[in-house]
Structure 1
Amino acid sequence: MSTESVESRGGRIRLVVSYDGADFHGFARQKGLRTVQGVLEDTLSNLLGTFIEVHGSGRTDKGVHARAQVVHFDLPYGPPADRIVHVLSRRLPNDIIPISASQVDSTFHARFSVVRKTYRYHIFRGNLPDVFKYRFSWHVPEALDIAAMRRAGAHLVGEHDFTSFCAAAAPQEDKVRTIYELRIEESGEDLYLYCAGSGFLQYMVRIITGTLVDVGLGGMSAERLPDILAAKSREAAGRTAPAHGLCLWNVEYPIVYGGRVLDL
């Protein structure tokens, strides 16, 4: 075992990582499949010589990326927090990048302490696909009515039952969630949809994005959104946007736990 693995008494560590989700089968460990949690746990366990369980702020689906995924784990011993990024950056694969690490109180939980999450969906509107963007954006070359998309999105802000905007097989019984902000920004041929909320259901942001794109293409009226919410049926909403355009953009905790993880 490396001497760097026994330089501190351990404790609870909060780690922020970014990853390219294209070659992962999502965040959560799955037997026989490459996942972010699995790679993190295997790397830490090999480093320490004992199994280290990693807890994430939430699950991302297969192909979804993260700018700021937060995880925590308990170390019986190991490198001090200010060296963990350096240690892990030498051991993790190139598609997982450790950003920061800190020692936290044992009451902190990467998932249950969250007060706000922000996802960003990237739509590329160029006439032709871009080889440097195809892994991280949805190519929609048709003209989009951005004003109509914004009107539609405004109906989703607030507390609602989002049954119509999640996978039909989503395991959660309670489908009520709160969206604090839904904004659309334009930058040349790029369109960015930011969705911040208390928590999200399976495929929720992707279905919201797909539905807003349907509105933007003229296939659905912006004024239908309240009726879609009221229907509480996945069939009432629009398409599911591809996974590769979605990124977990930021996570926010109470100030006592550090507040917002990264600047927006």
Structure 2
Amino acid sequence: MTRYAALISYDGSAFHGFQRQRGLPTVQEALEDALSLLNKGMVRVTGAGRTDRGVHALGQVVSFDMFWPHGPDALRKALEANLPSSIGVFEVVPVDEGFDARKSALWRKYAYFIWKGDCRLPHLDEHLWRNGKPWDMQKARAFLSMIKGHHDFSAFCRKADLPDNAWRTIIDAKLENIVHMIKVTIIGRSFLTNMVRIIIGTMDEVAAGRRSLPEVELLLKSGSREEAGPTVPANALFLWEVKYDPSPWTKGGYPLCWDWI
């Protein structure tokens, strides 16, 4: 029995999230079904992040144990061949038995894409949030600066899933604006349910002038979900990267083409 780590991507529009749910298609179920077939016995998969329904991934990481005598590259090819076309596998590597895709992660990076143009992009429209409202970019960046650090993010969590301890650490948050496209990236050690999408929804209200920065400061101290902004659509959110030290990837991991996006 060998423990493996796999670097995968998926189009989340085909799934009801990452985590297995009875009677619903999920990424975890698709992975476990394919690996169990190859293993000729049940394989359980641990994911680095439990993405919600409709959320995508370019850099999801999973770990699992199985018997496989043919080498990791052959396993990668066999796994991808038995998965739906909405899931891709970049690399599969053997790792130490103590490696856990979730617990061993140092941080997770999410990216959210916003389209500000008047026209429609038919090739990318399903993976963008179309938002034509005028934004004050200075206020948007000031908002992202405010959420950095260790805060109580109770106001930025789906109410039904609020844990006893909602304190989380945002390591970095930034906004890149290229013509009509805005990419927001947020790096944190862990996240609450819907946290990134509520952050983006609150940033939208600040940048559009419907909410002040002092209000955000209060939200980070004692806010409730009702006081924060809306939960923006899932289709524009990507689990972008998961960081480990040392990195398990032997081929460099993340494709260089990601630097273009």
Letter aligned with residue 190 of structure 1: M
Moved more, 253-262 or 191-200: 253-262
For residue 205 of structure 1, the aligned residue among 193, 196, 200 is 196
Give the Cα–Cα distance (whole angstroms) in 2 for the partners of residues 212 and 172 of structure 1. 23
- Tell me which residue corresponds to 2:29: 38
Distance in 1, matches of 2:210 and 2:25, equals 38
Match of 1:126 in 2: 117
Is the aligned partner of 1:162 residue 2:153?
Answer: yes
Distance 1:223 1:79, change over 3 A: farther
Note if contact 2:152-2:167 (Cα within 8 Å) is conserved in structure 1.
Answer: yes
- Aligned partner letter, 2:136: D
Question: Is contact 1:18-1:96 (8 Å) kept?
Answer: yes
Query: CA–CA distance in 2 between the matches of 1:232 and 1:12?
Result: 42
Distance 1:155 1:30 in 2: 36
Write the deviation string for residues 12-69 of structure 1: whole angstroms up to 9, x where unpaired: 0000100000110000011111000000001111122111111100100000000000
The Cα offsets for residues 162-207 of structure 1, whole Å up to 9 and x where unpaired, read as 0011111115321111001000001111100000011100000000
CA-CA distance at 1:89 after TM superposition = 2.2
Contact (CA 8 Å) 1:20, 1:65: kept in 2 or not?
A: yes
CA–CA distance in 2 between the matches of 1:129 and 1:218?
25
Q: How high is the TM-score relative to the length of structure 1?
A: 0.92
Within 5 Å, give how 1:182-261 maps onto structure 2: 182-255=173-246, 257=248
Counterpart code for 2:216:
L
Distance between the aligned counterparts of 2:144 and 2:247, measured in 1? 32
CA distance in 1: counterparts of 2:24 and 2:3, whole angstroms = 27
User: Are 2:112 and 1:109 equivalent residues in the alignment?
Assistant: no
Instruction: State the alpha-carbon separation in 2 of the partners of residues 173 and 221 from structure 1.
Output: 28
| Deviation at residue 82 of structure 1 after TM alignment | 2.4
Unmatched 5+ residue regions in structure 2? Answer: none
* Structure 2 residue corresponding to 1:143, chosen from 119, 134, 137: 134
| SS of the residue 2:199 aligns to | helix
Summarize deviations over 1:218-258 as a string: whole Å, max 9, x none.
11112321111112311111111110110000000122656
Q: Distance in 2 between matches of 1:261 and 1:77?
A: 21
SS of corresponding position for 1:240 = coil
Q: Structure 1: how far apart are the matches of 2:228 and 2:162?
A: 19
Give percent identity, aligned residues only.
36
Pick the aligned partner of 1:82 from 63, 73, 78: 73
CA contact (8 A) 1:149 1:222 kept: no
Q: 1:112 to 1:127 in 2, by over 3 A?
A: same
Does the residue aligned with 2:214 lie in a helix, a strand or coil?
helix
Structure 1 stretch displaced more, 251-260 or 94-103: 251-260
Residue 255 of structure 1 aligns to a residue whose secondary structure is coil
How far apart, CA to CA, are the structure 1 residues paired with 2:200 and 2:132?
Answer: 15
In 2: Cα distance, 1:261 partner to 1:111 partner: 17
Q: Please tell me the residue identity of whatever aligns with 2:49.
A: G
Check the 8 A contact 1:152/1:222 in 2, yes or no: yes
Q: CA 1:75 to 1:185, structure 2 compared with 1: closer, same or farther past 3 Å?
A: same
Q: How many residues align?
A: 255
1:92 paired to 2:77: no
Query: Where do 5+ consecutive residues of structure 1 fail to align?
Result: 1-9
Structure 1 residues 78 and 145, CA, compared in 2 at 3 Å: closer, same or farther?
Answer: farther
C-alpha deviation, 1:97, in angstroms: 0.3
